Chain A
Amino acid sequence: MSQMSSATIKQTPPDRRHGVLMLGNEAIARGAWESGVKIAAAYPGTPSTEIVTSLARYEGVYAEWSANEKVAYEVAFGAAMGGVRALTAMKSAGASVAADPLITSVYSGVCAGLVVVVAGDPGMSSGMTEQDDRYLGRMAGMPMLEPADSQECRDYVVLAFELSESYDIPVMVRLSTQTAHQKSVLTLGEPVAVARREPGRHPEKYCMLPKFSRPMHRYLLERTERLRAYAEASDLARVEPGYGPHARLGVVSSGAAYMSAKEALPGASFLKLGMIYPLPVEAIRRFAAGVDRLFVVEELEPYLEEQIRAAGIAAEGKQWMPAWGELTPERVGRGFFAAGLELPRWSEEKAAEDDSVMPRPPVLCAGCPHRGMATAMKKLDLDVHGDIGCYDLTSLPPVSHMHSAFEMGASIPIEQGFWRTGGAPKGSIAVIGDSTFVHSGLTGLLNAVHQGADITVLIQNNDTTAMTGGQTHLGTPKTHAGAPSAPVDLEGLVRALGVRSIQVVDPYDYEACLDALRAAQAFAGPAVIITNRPCMLFPRKIVGDGAYQIDEELCNACQQCMKLGCPSLSHTAATMKSRHKVTIDAATCAGCSLCAQLCKPEAIALVEAGVPGAAR
């Protein structure tokens, strides 16, 4: 079906006179555009989001925010099957969601190139786990390239499309947060015109019935061996001779870890790997033969180290360096120091932060529509099973009232199982946002209805995908491309799933929130509450130009308003009964009025801009 590729990596040294600064993710998009990508599909997820945001800005590219990563993968795969180069991008958790089509498509192969970008999150800047996606690629048998900076992000994507077509296989480009979210200097290439390939009809290739997929597995193993030969011969495995006293130390590394290792131990000899599956084991063996000690430096699990040792090559790695968190130069340097190397720069552990300074965790924005319901659920002392969204911030102080938050769509089935056990003394509830609900909440709710679960589900509907920066989703009235679309009628959708108790509530009305929660808890059978205020991601005033202000004379320092965790509220120097009184920052107050609703002495009132005390 295909022959050995002559694809070579064009290592472009950064040209600072003609270079541009780009995020790793933007460089991925640039490389894809230069490669003639026409179709891109993804669901937003840190640290991968900017890839498709950026790609969508290029002329001639169709880009969509799909329902979820599985759907996005299938859209991109369908495009590659149809003969057009396509890309999908996802975070680690999204790769798990997309695992089914990902694994199967490696058997079938493609018509035009398909590149799958998976951005892992060592250090968990926003992920729920530090899952090491290299094992997924290896399990699937999908070739994997791992860039180390923005230049390589661009170069490797260009190469990945060539490999994908030469070897008839989707190719993964694996990133970690340090690569995806670094800005570094990049020399751009020119876009190439790529004609649509003739897709034809190939049921033996694309119908994954045992009759067809059994030979496809053998075909995969054969392609893997040819790719291994390519990896061995390719200059993707680059030897960098050392110098000075550390020249006889060898380091095998790739991606972000390579940059950290190179900085931590610049005089060592390096074998820098660009392709991490299949692994060029013989190139590693030759390199190892020329050094006294071989270190493997990699973020997270000992993925490379295990394969190198399994090949009978002596190597050190995870006994010196942590299998968690980002590998910064300092953490790698400390590992080398622990391994007995003489390295003054890394000889002592240094603090990066003064831990005595009060913490500053992220909080819900001023005027955030999630705040009313969060405060009401805390008031009723419900057990709250959250999902993936900004509302998870209510698990942190000062709200501190959420009892589980796992993965996309988990809230409703977890609440169903929890309810089966007898539930919580004061009741329990599933909380999910609109974007997450259309990502993977629907099936869970349908399941709960079918099984007759007597549960309450709160859909915190804010008309956007907030946590990743405000992307469109199936429920918004526009697509990412700006085309009008029929927004999902959430109420009608929930009714169609068989829910008989549906309440639509203004989350800025605190009493209405309490009433709705009580009514839903009292209803026999699944009950759904939908809130109806948009996200405050782009801050605006809810009530004209005014802001709420506190009359310090009337404030009795009861602290009810401070429980909201609103960033516009802070303490003044004045005290009553040794508790501080409160003030409101008029510049940031959005006017949601929740603090005024909670204020027993009625010390908080709306003040029109420029007219102190005008309105009450």
Chain B
Amino acid sequence: MSAATHAPVAPGGGEAAAEARVDNVMVVGVGGQGVIMAAAIIADAALRAGRDVKLIETRGMSQRGGSVNSHIRIGTRVLAPAISPGEVHYLLAFEAAEGLRRAPSLAPEGVAIVNTQYIVPPLAASAEHSYPFDAVARMAAQGHAVIAVDGNAVAEQIGDQKVAGVVLVGALAARLPFADEVWRAAIAANVPAGWLEPNLAAFSAGKKVAAGPVYGADEEGAS
């Protein structure tokens, strides 16, 4: 995994140097896709792994089918909850166009994990706007390391589209240094009762999928 190198490190190190080591995960998607639950699992896993964590997300009106995003920051000590532009280390996109929208937020060494699901909003029907079906290719062409995951297809095989979000969490987990027990406990604590088994299956499947090809210029993204 790539460690953050952005915050200035104070001379003498100590507390200030520790503050500088923060990993930034941004989860983006469309209201109703389960972004909030996925973010809760990731933050919970970080806490269970003994890290400090802060999370902030869109709430309220944007949940009505609008763009949503969650910022999760993980480190020894995290200050502000919001990730600054150009400092996202892991962009977890539940929807391809939303991934493309947030691609400029990626750090140079950042990795995008993009669900190849295309949710075309009513507005894309108008003359001025069109839906970017080439979102993944465009992100790679911009020089970002991109892992494309068909989370919905994987979820369908497991038996329910509803677990697609946890497939993507699994894909992210392949790149974070938290033990599987930690992730499983975090999933158990955050998914609805009766949904643990399919979600654990989704998590394992997602971890395997993430070992697939990485598009884009940055070799560091490959696991």
Instruction: Write the residues of chain A forming the contact surface with B, with a CB cutoff of 8 angstroms.
Output: 14, 16-17, 19-21, 46-47, 125-126, 149, 178, 181-185, 243-244, 256, 259-260, 262-263, 266-267, 326, 328-330, 333, 343-345, 350-354, 357-365, 390, 393, 397-398, 467-468, 559, 562, 565-567, 569-571, 580, 587
Contacts and interface: CB of A to CB of B under 8 A. Distances in A.
Nearest to A398: B122
24 contacts: A21-B47, A47-B59, A125-B59, A126-B59, A126-B61, A178-B80, A183-B53, A183-B55, A184-B78, A262-B79, A263-B7, A266-B8, A267-B10, A329-B82, A350-B104, A357-B132, A360-B66, A360-B123, A363-B65, A365-B65, A390-B64, A398-B123, A567-B122, A570-B120
Interface string B61-96: 111111100000000001111101110000000000
B51 to A, nearest CB: 7
A353 B104 contact: yes
Contacts of A359: 67, 123, 129
B98 interface: yes
B81 A182 contact: yes
Contacts of A330: 82, 84-85
A93 to B, nearest CB: 13
B187 to A, nearest CB: 15
A398 to B, nearest CB: 5
A397 B128 CA distance: 12
Contacts of B62: 125, 362
Given A47-B59, A181-B59, A363-B121, 17 more contacts: A125-B61, A126-B59, A178-B56, A181-B57, A182-B55, A183-B55, A185-B53, A260-B80, A260-B82, A266-B16, A329-B82, A352-B85, A353-B104, A358-B131, A360-B30, A390-B64, A587-B161
Closest 3 CB pairs of A and B: A362-B66, A362-B64, A358-B129
B38 interface: no
B56 A181 contact: yes
A359 B6 CA distance: 30
Given A126-B61, A244-B11, A365-B64, A185 B47 contact: yes
Nearest to B142: A354
Contacts of A587: 161
A562 to B, nearest CB: 5
Contacts of A397: 123, 126
B204 interface: no
A546 to B, nearest CB: 19
A363 B43 contact: no
Nearest to B78: A184
A352 B80 contact: no
Contacts of B207: none
Nearest to B30: A360
B56 A183 contact: yes
A418 B12 CA distance: 67
Contact of B54 (A16, A184, A390, A580): A184
Interface in B13-65: 16, 19-20, 30-31, 40, 43-44, 47, 50-65
A11 to B, nearest CB: 15
Contacts of B85: 330, 350-352
B158 to A, nearest CB: 17
Nearest to B139: A354
Q: How large is the interface on B (under 10, 10 to 19, 20 to 34, 35 or more residues)?
A: 35 or more
Contact of B124 (A14, A259, A353, A358): A358
B132 A358 contact: yes
Given A352-B104, A358-B121, A363-B122, A183 B54 contact: yes
Contacts of B16: 243-244, 266-267
Nearest to B86: A350
Contacts of B132: 357-358
Contacts of A262: 79-80
Most chain B CB inside 10 Å of its own CB: which residue of A20, A185, A357, A361 = A357
A360 B154 CA distance: 26
Contacts of A345: 6-8
Interface in B154-190: 161
A21 B125 contact: no
B52 A328 contact: no
A577 to B, nearest CB: 14
A181 B71 CA distance: 11
B49 to A, nearest CB: 9
Contacts of A16: 47, 50-52
Given A185-B47, A362-B64, A21 B53 contact: yes
B54 A149 contact: yes
Contacts of A393: 61, 64
B103 interface: yes
B208 interface: no
A357 to B, nearest CB: 4
Nearest to A351: B104
A229 B204 CA distance: 59
A287 B123 CA distance: 54
Contacts of A559: 125
